[in-house]
Amino acid sequence: MSDHQIHIIGGGLAGSEAAWQLAEQGVKVRLSEMRGGGDMTPAHQTDGLAELVCSNSFRSDDAERNAVGLLHQEMRDLNSIIMRCADEHKVPAGSALAMDRDHFSDAVTRTLSEHPNIEIVRERIDRLPESGLTIVATGPLTALSLAESIGAATGADALAFFDAIAPIVHRDSIDMDICWKAARWGKGGDDYINCPMDKEQYLAFHQGLLDSEKTEFKDWEKDTPYFEGCMPIEVMAARGIDTLRYGPMKPVGLDNPHGATPEFPEGRWAHAVVQLRQDNALGTLWNMVGFQTKMKHGAQVELFRTIPGLEKAEFARLGGLHRNTFINSPKLLDSEMRLESAPHIRFAGQITGCEGYVESSAVGLMVGRYAAAELRGEPLPTPPAETALGALLSHITGGADARDYQPMNINFGLFPPFAEKVHKKQRKEAMTARARSAMAAWLAEIDRKAAS
């Protein structure tokens, strides 16, 4: 298919979603993905589209009290391929939406490959096209040559930070005589495997994190900061002795059914708990929640096997670290995600400075719809700022301070405040109710324009 109308660069979550949205509206798409064409990134393991390189979770699916759950629902309302495939291949994760990462990626790849309006080409693009409608969705691991081209086009250096990846453990190597399955406070069923630590074990583990061998940075990486939402566990440990106990290793709400034992004299309530979440549909792989790390592989195996219940752990994947790149979107992009200095180019996904699988996909969804509307000559109304989509886009295109722009997950802090006072306990429910009403009105407006 050589007569494409839109060229999408990057077959991750955002590029895949943008391609789907365009194709479903009759637009012919060329989707360029370098993996599978002889190139690979430091974090990807396969050449599948929409590969999940870190966690397998889309976080909370609660659309009543959680901003990301609300974003899930808004994307479902807009025929999201990413949400459809996530729902089809979900695995138990309490109130979160997690999926079998391989089945999920396979489903996205197959669906897009079979669409008559999409041509998938395994090729690396080294420069921004000088003409033709283009969507750049190359994500946090943009190839250096293209990143340099983007820098030249924007007139500014790309910002960067580090993202860390958590290890994955084989289920049959976990000692369930020590561990147990439960969700915090019993919510969502027995969806997590919990490994308890007493105080002495925790203190030794904490010191081990501080003393472990870490990945060394190259000279050009040394001033790169971390993203707070994906902080390596050893960096968190360095912030204080109890930081982990109030973060990924918090024991509250996890009642140990094994009770007190000579090895665990503190009894039912642990001093700290390591949680693992199911990573595939078969339940054979489990990832260590919040255990992103920059430790060297040998150090990871040695230290993580001191965790009670993981003494004989076999790892399907160890943790890692990769550099993330994004542009200063509030300064460079217009309200429809076009590069102001070259409006034939739009940006989508994590390269815009949104953070998270769902947020990246949501931006891809909207960029695809903006591009389709431009081709029709009918501008797409901007989603209301009261919606999750609108709040996210507003932050990216001008709501954030361009002087200190940093990656951001969707959260209620991005939503406009209420004109009237709302009690703190009712605020989240009130925000989601307001968002649903605004979303319904926006969808109705789109339908009216399409019918006229």
Q: Which residue has the tokens 């190839």?
A: 143
Closest CA to 352 of 164, 162, 150, 73: 150
Q: What is the DSSP letter of 223?
A: T
Residue 189 annotated in ligand binding = no
Crossing angle, helix 81-88 and helix 101-113, to 10 degrees? 130
Closest CA to 41 of 262, 359, 321: 321
Residue 12 annotated in ligand binding = yes
Could you write out the DSSP letters of every residue in 86-155? HHHTEE--TTEEEE-HHHHHHHHHHHHHT-TTEEEEE----S--SSS-EEE--GGG--HHHHHHHHHHHT
Phi-psi sector, 36: left (phi>0), alpha (psi -120 to 50), beta: left
Residue 13 annotated in ligand binding = yes
Cα separation values, 188 from 61, 116, 191, 268, 282, Å: 11, 40, 7, 20, 19
Residue 210 annotated in ligand binding = no
Distance separating alpha carbons of residues 35 and 326, to the nearest angstrom:
20
Pairing between β-strand 342-347 and β-strand 338-339 as defined by DSSP bridges? antiparallel
Residues annotated within a binding site = 10-15
Residues annotated within a binding site for FAD = 10-15
